[in-house]
Amino acid sequence: MSANEPAGQPSPLRYPFPAPPARGRLLEVGPGVFWIRMPLPYALDHINLWALADGPGWTLVDTGLHVPLTLEVWAELFAHWPDARPITRVIATHMHADHVGLAGWFAEHHGCRLWMSRLDYLNSRLTVAEAGDPPSAVARAFYRRCGWGDEALDAYPRGRSRYASQFYRLPESYRRLQDGEELAIGAQRWRVIVGTGHSPEHVCLYCAELALFISGDQVLPRITSNVSTYASEPEADPLADWYASLAKLRLAVPDEVLVLPSHNVCFYGLHARLEQLRDSADEALASLRRRLRQPARVIDTFAALFARPIPESDPSLLRMATGEALSHLNWLLRRGEIHCHLDEHGIAWYRLAPEAGERPAAAFPDVTV
């Protein structure tokens, strides 16, 4: 994720709350809708969770990571919970550990059901199931093609295991959420709107009556969401999904809503933000085209795409930056704007296509590892 709010001009976004809730406390942002701030042990140091009054119980939207700190903060939250009703349902917006990491714990300890999109549920379960597997030769070849050095390649399996450990074992059964479905939560109806690009089937929730929109990681006010390509599907084009999703949300959700995002703070100005996010993706592609006047490996494109340096010594940042750079490269490659060839060491080099319309080479021919 990268910071990208335009500097030097008044922001079209408005932030109605002077500060997020304190650690271990809930802040009511709409009737029966509470904001929870959960710490994360990353550079992005928090996630927002939402508790929705739901008849005889509470629905929780997202959970935080499965790490000791999260359980500590949950104990503080329960000590300040608005009433004695139990948590009866957990909705996970998507598959990432900071969102769904503790869902299995809630299922086991509070007896609640997990509601989630099918693709994101299956992906999270796969992440956990693969945790004990030996280091993957396919992933190693994939990141070597992107230009990673031996030190980063050697560190990758440890990073993968650490990430998987941030999921509590997921429930073996869940309730599927689908695009367009209406959920009754308390007295209100919330519509499921599935976004794409950041995860395969990211659930957002829109309540027309309360004019609230739980956007998850699909719309964030001050940073852009990671749009990544992974070793399991190296030719993926998630940036096309991301663009489609921005356009879909603009049509599906009115501008007047208060947006409840998973990171940063609640805001008004949804449509302006969707436009900023589209412009930001356009600018990243334009910057990449300029960089690719000269041949470049995936890792050589970072300076054109990200404001901050991406050190090889930070494996998780390196993995996210690589995935995001590759998504932009794949977008250009699919549209015939750039070429890619593998050198004798199996490293992919990209450059602008010399003639428009010329057929691009395959970026990832079947590899022998």
DSSP state of 14: B
Residue 264: helix, strand or coil by DSSP? coil
- Cα(98)–Cα(94) distance, rounded to whole angstroms? 9
Closest alpha carbon to 88 in 106, 114, 61, 112:
112
The sign of the CA dihedral 143, 146, 150, 152 is negative
**DSSP structure string for 283-310:** HHHHHHHHHTTS-B-GGGGHHHH-SS--
Interaction residues for Zn ion, span 209-228 (CB under 5 A): 217
In the complex with Zn ion, which residue's Cβ is closer, 94 or 144? Answer: 94
Start-to-end CA span in the chain (Å) = 31
Tell me the closest approach of the beta carbon of residue 195 to Zn ion, in angstroms.
11
- Report the residue number, 217 or 241, with the smaller CB distance to Zn ion: 217
List the helix and strand counts (H, then E) for the chain: 10, 16
| CB of residue 72 to Zn ion, shortest distance in Å | 23
User: What sign for the dihedral angle of Cα 347, 157, 235, 238?
Assistant: negative
List, in sequence order, every residue forming a beta bridge with 224; answer none if it has no partner: 2
219: nearest Cα among 252, 175, 189:
252
| 96 lines the binding site for Zn ion (CB under 5 A) | yes
Shortest approach of Zn ion to residue 94 CB, angstroms? Answer: 6
CB of 329 to Zn ion, least distance (A): 21
Applying CB under 5 A, does 120 fall inside the site for Zn ion? no
The one segment of 95-103, 136-144, 174-182, 227-235 that binds Zn ion by CB under 5 A: 95-103
Taking CB under 5 A as the rule, does residue 202 contact Zn ion?
no
Nearer to Zn ion, 128 or 333 (CB): 128
Look up tokens 């300890």; give the residue: 109
> Binding marks (x or -) toward Zn ion, 8..47, rule CB under 5 A?
----------------------------------------
Binding mask 327-346 for Zn ion (x = CB under 5 A): --------------------
Among 90-98, 234-242, 245-253, 345-353, which window interacts with Zn ion (CB under 5 A)?
A: 90-98
Residue (217 or 324) nearer to Zn ion, CB: 217
Give CA–CA dist 251/300, Å, rounded. Answer: 37
Residues forming the site for Zn ion (CB under 5 A)? 96, 217
